Chains A and B, each alone.
Chain A
Amino acid sequence: MNPMGAEEDKVFKALASPERRLLLDRLRAENGQTLGQLCAHMEMTRQAVTRHLRLLEEATLVVTIWRGREKLHYLNPMPIHEIAERWIGKYERGRLRVLAELKTKLEEETNG
């Protein structure tokens, strides 16, 4: 059992919502926003945005920093990057190995 399983579940659950993906897009467009800024031009109540942000924070997809009396929200790409590393990174390494083997084989044929 992957010890990070529970954490990964939180990431996938957090991403499985168009509203939360929209919030991540808003942060990607402008990082470091307050709750008030994130609520502007949104068809969601402030309570709904707060709830979505809490789930995003629990999944570490959003991190917050206090600056004076303002709580600023930042997009944290690390959980998504780690998921990509886990599957795509492995796939890339496999492909490179196949290419290296193909090269060795072809060169052997040429030399032979």
Chain B
Amino acid sequence: MAESEFVYVTFIRTTPEKLWCALIEPEFTRQFWFQMMQESDWKPGASWRMLDASGRVFDTGEIVEIEPPKRLLLTWRHELDPELTAEGYSRMSYELEQKGEMVKLTVKHEIDKSGSKFIKAVAGGWPIILSSLKSLLETGKAL
């Protein structure tokens, strides 16, 4: 059982395919995710990296499960702050479910360490990222 975790749910007026694309494709992620983009072959076992516009690597991990456009599970370790790197790998998952005209997006992020500083750090960022993503998909503009 994870020692530190959070679960965030948001409903977005879009299709699972569009939402999946927005969560993965660099041209979308940099618009709502603090200019960040991801690099991966998006297959089980493939490496995963999160980098900024200058190519500096912030986070690394591996794709564990991937089922477009429904579910993604990856491992995630922060690489820039040694204290957070020392906490080891966290697990982050997306679940996408069609609910009428909306898609329910569930983001779960957890680590096997109580009082994790990493989880605390990302927990504050996710609501900003998710509401910007919602705005981008529903209005065409990120916040």
Contact = CB atoms under 8 A, between A and B. Distances in A.
A78 B127 contact: yes
Contact of A60 (B1, B9, B13, B128): B9
Interface stretch (A15-23, A35-43, A81-89, A100-108): A81-89
Interface string B21-37: 00000000000000000
Contact of A65 (B10, B11, B108, B128): B108
A76 B7 contact: yes
Interface residues of A, number: 17
Given A63-B106, A65-B108, A85 B131 contact: yes
A31 B6 contact: yes
A89 B127 contact: no
A65 B131 contact: no
B63 interface: no
Interface in A16-64: 31-32, 60, 63
A63 B9 contact: yes
A7 interface: yes
B128 to A, nearest CB: 8
Contacts of B11: 7, 60
Interface in B53-74: none
Contact of B143 (A74, A76, A89): A89
Interface of B: 1, 5-11, 13, 106, 108, 127-128, 130-131, 134-135, 143
20 contacts: A31-B6, A60-B11, A63-B7, A63-B8, A65-B7, A67-B1, A74-B6, A74-B7, A75-B6, A76-B7, A77-B127, A78-B8, A78-B10, A78-B127, A81-B127, A81-B128, A81-B131, A85-B135, A85-B143, A89-B143
Interface of A: 3, 7, 31-32, 60, 63, 65, 67, 74-78, 81-82, 85, 89
- The 7 A-B pairs at the shortest CB distance, nearest first, are namely A81-B127, A74-B7, A78-B10, A63-B9, A85-B131, A76-B9, A63-B7
